[in-house]
Structure 1
Amino acid sequence: TSTGYIFHELYMWHDQGAMASVRNSVQPTPHWETPESKRRIHNLLSVSGVLDQLTLLRPRAATLEECERVHDRSYLEMLQRCSNDDTKGHHVVGEEAVIAPGGFDVALLSAGGCLAALDAVMRGTVRNAYCLVRPPGHHAERAAAMGFCYINNIAVVAAAAKAAHGLSRVAIVDWDVHHGNGTHHMFDDDPSVLFVSIHQDGNYPARSGA
């Protein structure tokens, strides 16, 4: 068996908006969570020939029921309403989190892509998998978007590993400059999930993960 790979062009279409507003007399700049970094990774895998050695897996959209294992239903419905509102360009849905029309659909596809990778590993189709998805998820809390994260992808996967695949224990290693606060809080009292966050002290969120 080989390594599975999750990617979809719609991940690149997720719109995080600009970092500033002209109404505040600040020149708008592109958001640092842009599709270009992910697209460069995908293109490098393709040009280098590594992509030919991977097993391409088809992502799917996560269901609300799958996301409800770690998120409140009312929170998910709020994201869905804002995402379906075409009358406004972007909705502020949390700290450092705005959602554009259609953004919730892409977030579901991001979480669902990770679930598709889990299913492939558990079936033995692949030995392991890499998911090049966006939007990211580890800052998303049970009932709050944060840090350009809306659905906590890895938390959804960990919950599915236990509920749908019967695993008794799950380990999550979060390696990022930021503390994975959302994932941490979701499993803080769950002895069946080991969560390890390797991050820069004092970065983001403030006073988190020390």
Structure 2
Amino acid sequence: MNPTYAELTKYLGPFSVLRELPAKAVVPPAWQGLLGASAPDRIRLVIALWEQQYPHEFSTLLGVFRQHLVAVEVLAQDTKCSLLYVFKNPRGEYLHYLGQAPLAASQLPATLSGFPWPDRFLPFYTQLHNGWYEIVSHAVGLLPLEEILLLSEYEWGILEELDLPSTFSLTNVLGVFPSGAGGYLCWDFNAAVPAGLIWWDDEAPDEVDFWAILDEWSAMGIQDY
């Protein structure tokens, strides 16, 4: 195993790099072509998967992929498979991202089923990855569905300083992307139409275009980390 990859066991636990179909772990069909591919072809194939599903929503991030993605590996962690993305940022530092295997529709957590998710959000988890994030920080990427934060379950000292509408409730705000710097990109379900919201731990929240910020923060996590 690449010595750099071996250091990741501190965060991921034991894993192996796959080059062929394993006996135990289940490799998603869309990933099976990666196993026998050359290193450059694995990069090309993964970029094509993202382009096929989210060419517009992740247009900036895809540009970063083309410039800075230097390796893709299929990992086996016991019976589960993930994709390891290795980026070389503009300062020459290596960053490692993990994309967990996509979920089947039947695997979506029941606790999230009551929310009116926008059409393009949950398909990321069933078509690409159940979470995609920087491994060391476990941030600057979309959390796995089972780790999405219901903000009302946490203490926020900033609440006492905010002048929020009486109709606003944290039970209807879910954090899906930790910035690693005290902010969460969230879906706000307080209105009839879900909206993007950045929830800060030390300042007033900001209403945002969810997909624009998701793309921007994802790209910045690699370029400016």
Please confirm whether the aligned pair reaches a TM-score higher than 0.5, indicating the same fold: no
Q: Which has the higher strand share?
A: 2
The two structures have a TM-score, normalised by structure 2, of 0.30
Structure possessing the higher radius of gyration over alpha carbons? 2
The two structures have a TM-score, normalised by structure 1, of 0.31
